[in-house]
Structure 1
Amino acid sequence: MIAAPLFIISVPELVIAQCKAGIVGSFPALNAREAQGEPPLLDAWLTQISEELDRHNQANPDTPAAPFAVNQIVHRSNTRLDRDLEICVKHKVPLWITSLGARVDVNEAAHSCGGIVLHDIINNTFARKAIAKGADGLVAVAAGAGGHAGQQSPFALIREIRDWFDGPLALSGAIATGEALLAARALGADFGYVGSPFIATDEANAMQDYKDMIVQSGAEDIVYSSLFTGVWGNYLRGSVENAGMDPDNLPEADAKAMNFGSGSSKPKAWKTIWGSGQGIGAVRSQGPAARIVDRMAREYADAGARLAKEFGG
């Protein structure tokens, strides 16, 4: 399992908890935003994560933490990208997740420090472009994923990619249970990419109202819209209604509206519009991140055992 990088929500405390629980923890580099004139917060975050995981590994040699990942938004409006790449190279970040544009120089930066690059894609065309530009693997963002999501069925998307690509492949899209994780593996993915369930965790940097809405909502409460960032994505219906808008009659926005110059993927006017994937019906309460991992691990094992029994394995 790979924990998806969640805008604003994924902070060192959550990443560390995820890694200690045995899954890849991640965060967007743009989440580390310092005040003007202060040292780069990203540098401090990477130091904190690396040192804490190193202490954990020394104390628990038989159950070491999983590696962590940093998400880089490879978009022309991200004016911090070059600086953040240098910091990640300095810290020898083991896993890089790139989004919204595949670039050779970004992949080369990751490879220069021994890093592995997984690139977000929503269709087979983008997948081919990412690998051609030097990405090591892919994150297939299928229908039902939180945040910027594609529209293709995971059954179609994974099959098309596996026709030509045998490298690392993660699947994103409503993977919130161990059964869904096992299904992703059965489809041909190596990893399940899990985001929304971690919003309602103690370590997540999310407003309490946001966490409560995740617990109280289900797949029918997700709205697919391009209005808030210029790119199509999934959002909580309740947050759209609370902003005074009709979720069923939202205008569209052009992709040119996306701007990462301020370190944010959304204009301030939409800061209370909350992203979420369709799998949140499996989230029944708030708790520590490790509890999400433990639940999904049990469900994964139980589902595998049921299938093995059914097929005589």
Structure 2
Amino acid sequence: MKNRDTLFAEFIEYLQLEKNSSQHTIDGYKKDILDFFLFMDEQILQSLSAVTYQDARIYLTKLYENRYAKKSISRKVSSLRSFYKYLVRESYLDTNPFAQVSLPKLEKKLPDFFYEEELEELFRSIDTSTPSGERNKALLEIMYATGIRVSECAGIKLSDIDFSSSVILVSGKGKKERFVPFGYFAKEALHTYINSGRKRLMKGQVHPYVFVNQKGTPLTARGIRYIFNQLIEKAGTNKRIHPHMIRHTFATHLLNRGADLRTVQELLGHSSVSATQVYTHVTKDHLKNTYMAHHPRA
């Protein structure tokens, strides 16, 4: 049997070439598996085939003792389960010691979102008299109009936007592409920014990315988060913001206004509807609160 470093390298190559996993996902697998290799060394486990179900249970106990969050433990166990599943599939091993290890139950946390009036206040607070203001308005409009992830927004190129059909080609997780529509307000803000603010911000730079920073270079996901934090401070709201809240708001507002779950799933780029169902809890609360506030016999 090949040594563990060779098998580890083959697994990473499998994630890159066959699974088409994102670099963020691959980095997560690397860290989780290398952490387990340290545990193997401590336990004097000479090879991957020497690891038993009992060893997997001991590792799980150690993670709890080191006070890892339940979410982190679940991710680590899932990573190792996938690694061993690959080894079994490739006939390097007969059994997967992590197959029967139960994952800790995670608390279901409802997504934060903006109410429509809060979002309107945020839009109104943007000063569009400057190039960066035009960019910020376009950034907020397009993220709310499409529900795309921050990383997806940072990756938008000029050639990805079809103004005639009002759709954007978005490259999502695992490099999966999807077309996402956008409405009138986003179209106007994006058109103004590209033809005015972006040209002034570019400062001689030449690249295809839509959203740029003050130096004219492509805006990163971290840069977008910084901009959103500034917008919230300027709007004077006490609510803490993270860019993913705009994605949550997009989904929640669509469902509140009658959109079906499957359509929202497709727009968000979720691989399964279960990832989208969390938003139904939010909309149910909204319906209940509206009912209690307005029904004569509530």
**TM-score, normalization: structure 1?**
0.22
Higher fraction of strand: 1
